[in-house]
Structure 1
Amino acid sequence: MSHLHPQKQALLGPGQHVEPHFTAREIVRDIIIGASDGLTVPFALAAGLSGASVNSSIVLTAGIAEVVAGAISMGLGGYLAAKSEADHYKRELKREQEEIIAVPDTEAAEVAEILAEYGIEPHEYAPVVNALRKNPQAWLDFMMKFELGLEKPNPRRALLSAMTIAISYILGGIVPLLPYMFVPRARDAMFGSVVVTLVALLLFGYAKGHYTGDRPFQSALQTAFIGAIASAAAFSMAKAIHP
């Protein structure tokens, strides 16, 4: 998937080659993180408990408890990660501001070096360097993006990330538990759980591959395979302990 600014598209002209780029937003990445774990972990837990020959109510209770705990844990992890990213950006921003004031010639030389890495000649980048020196805010933005590779984070990013991951985890975690709500015997419900979860993993893997630019069918098979391995391992371990 690729999205180009209209001016860039005009420069390329109609029919010109456009390379695909990963343009999914951060919220899509959070959905992938939450839903992938939400589908896999409760699935493996339910399969493991089913292997211990318990009834569906026990599996359902344990599964719901895990989904709630997992959603809180994953959401908190997402919040702290986004908060840490924002704090890192603020620290680097302050440092760059101080360096532009204290050692402007050094910072200007760094701008020239960055532009030279793109094959721009000194007589070509000199006006750019001078223009940036006259515009401190643009200069600061340039250094943050091209020297440090940092984009300004959304101030609501941490809370939004936590909520997105937690909700995605819950929605994903409900899927493998659905059969246990209707089938009393856990061993029988497990087969229904395997079917619905593998279908969900295939669909989720395909969508993930589509948004990340990977081959969708390969992504679908890989995601389903990982979930199947996790549940089979949990079921086998439970059977070994409680034959």
Structure 2
Amino acid sequence: MTDAPAAFDEHHHADVSGGWLRPAVFGAMDGLVTNIALIAGVGGGGVPPRDIVLTGVAGLVAGAISMGLGEYTSVQTQNEQIAAEIAKERRELERHPEAEARELAEAWVRRGLPADLAQQVADAIRDNPEEALRLHAREELGVEPGEQPSPWTAAFSSFLCFSVGALIPLLTYLLGFDQLWPALAVGGVGLFAAGAIVARFTRRRWWNNGLRQLLLGAAAAAATYLIGRLIGVAGGLG
């Protein structure tokens, strides 16, 4: 009896179809990398701190809106496509129930179920239209009817997390610092922390996840800094 709670926790799965984790992670990382790279680029070009803040705020607002709209549109489009395919499958089940039952049985036979048993179960399920639709959608489309992610959840998660991520490298300038390196250092800490937090959901090593995100962000910042430096020097901004 004492092992029951531990066993329950071990087999309790996270919600992977709610539609919030992927856009949240994508939004936060994109916000961090985008604004770190923007700030590194214009800072490398030698522009004054006020212009760096203006660039960063513009990047935050434009990027957050773009991410939110993009996530809503992409998830809504995917859901509409899935709904159309499920409706098509429903029509097939209504018009050709025997053929669909054989098709389902054949799929189970390919997975190792005895042919007689597979056909018997498929015939029994045929008489339950909603369950038949659910199983056919899972087998043929790889989806669960009624469990598609919410486009609004995806949009809000992406918008909010992009905004938070993009704000982090701006903090030092907003607090009165006028040098580039503190902003990049704070942005680097944000990247590492974001990667470490994501590791909690994926059960990966937190330091490995954090270091990966830090290195990717550092590569983007280095590239834009060098480009900004070259353009600034060539244009007489440095």
Query: TM-score, with normalisation over the residues of structure 2?
Result: 0.87
Does the 8 Å CA contact 2:134/2:145 hold for their aligned counterparts?
no
Distance 1:183 1:166, change over 3 A: same
SS in 2 for 1:196: helix
> What is residue 160 of structure 1 aligned with on the other side?
153
1: CA distance, partners of 2:207 / 2:145:
34
**Which residue does the alignment assign to 1:227?**
217
Aligned counterpart, 1:5 = none
- Of the three residues 182, 200, 218, the one matched with 2:190 is 200
Superposed CA RMSD in Å reads 2.5
Which of 131, 141, 155 is the equivalent residue of 1:138?
131
What displacement does 1:182 show?
2.8
- Taking structure 1 as reference, are residues 153 and 231 closer, same or farther at Cα in structure 2, changes over 3 Å only? farther
Indicate yes or no: 2:32 matched with 1:39.
Answer: yes
Instruction: Name which of structure 1's ranges 213-222 and 193-202 shifts more when overlaid on structure 2.
Output: 213-222
Tell me which residue corresponds to 2:113.
Answer: 120
Alpha-carbon distance in structure 1 between the residues aligned to 2:79 and 2:41: 39
1:130-165 CA-to-partner distances (Å, cap 9, x unmatched) read 211110111001111122101235678111211110
- Give the corresponding residue for 1:69: 62
Aligned to 1:55: 48
Q: Give the match for residue 4 of structure 1.
A: none
Q: 1:81-132 deviations in whole A, cap 9, x for unaligned?
A: 1101110111011100111122222211111022113311123223311211
SS across alignment from 1:176: helix
Structure 2 unaligned blocks of 5 or more: 234-238
Instruction: Return the match for 1:151 from 144, 150, 153.
Output: 144
The answer (yes or no) to whether the contact 1:201–1:223 under 8 Å persists in 2 is yes
| Alignment match, 2:236 | none
1:19 is displaced (CA, Å) by 8.5
Question: 2:46 aligns to what SS in structure 1?
Answer: coil
Q: Which amino acid counterpart does residue 116 of structure 1 have in structure 2?
A: V
CA distance in 2, matches of 1:221, 1:110: 48
Distance (whole Å) between structure 2 residues aligned to residue 20 and residue 40 of structure 1: 34
Q: Is the 8 A contact 2:31 2:162 kept in 1?
A: yes
> Which of residues 70, 74, 77 in structure 2 aligns to 1:81?
74
* SS of the residue 2:20 aligns to: helix
Residue in 2 that maps onto 1:237: 227
Rounded Cα–Cα distance in structure 2 between residues aligned with 1:240 and 1:167:
34
* Superposed CA offset, 1:153-209 (max 9, x none): 567811121111011100110000111113353xx1x11112111111111111222
| Distance of aligned partners of 1:156 and 1:122 in 2 relative to their CA distance in 1, 3 Å threshold | closer
Report the CA distance between 1:21 and its aligned residue.
7.1
1:30-76 Cα distance to aligned partner (Å, 9 max, x none)? 21010010000011000111111121111111110111110111111
| CA distance in 2: counterparts of 1:234 and 1:152, whole angstroms | 45
TM-score normalised per structure 1: 0.86
Pair 65,153 (structure 1): closer, same or farther in 2 beyond 3 Å: farther
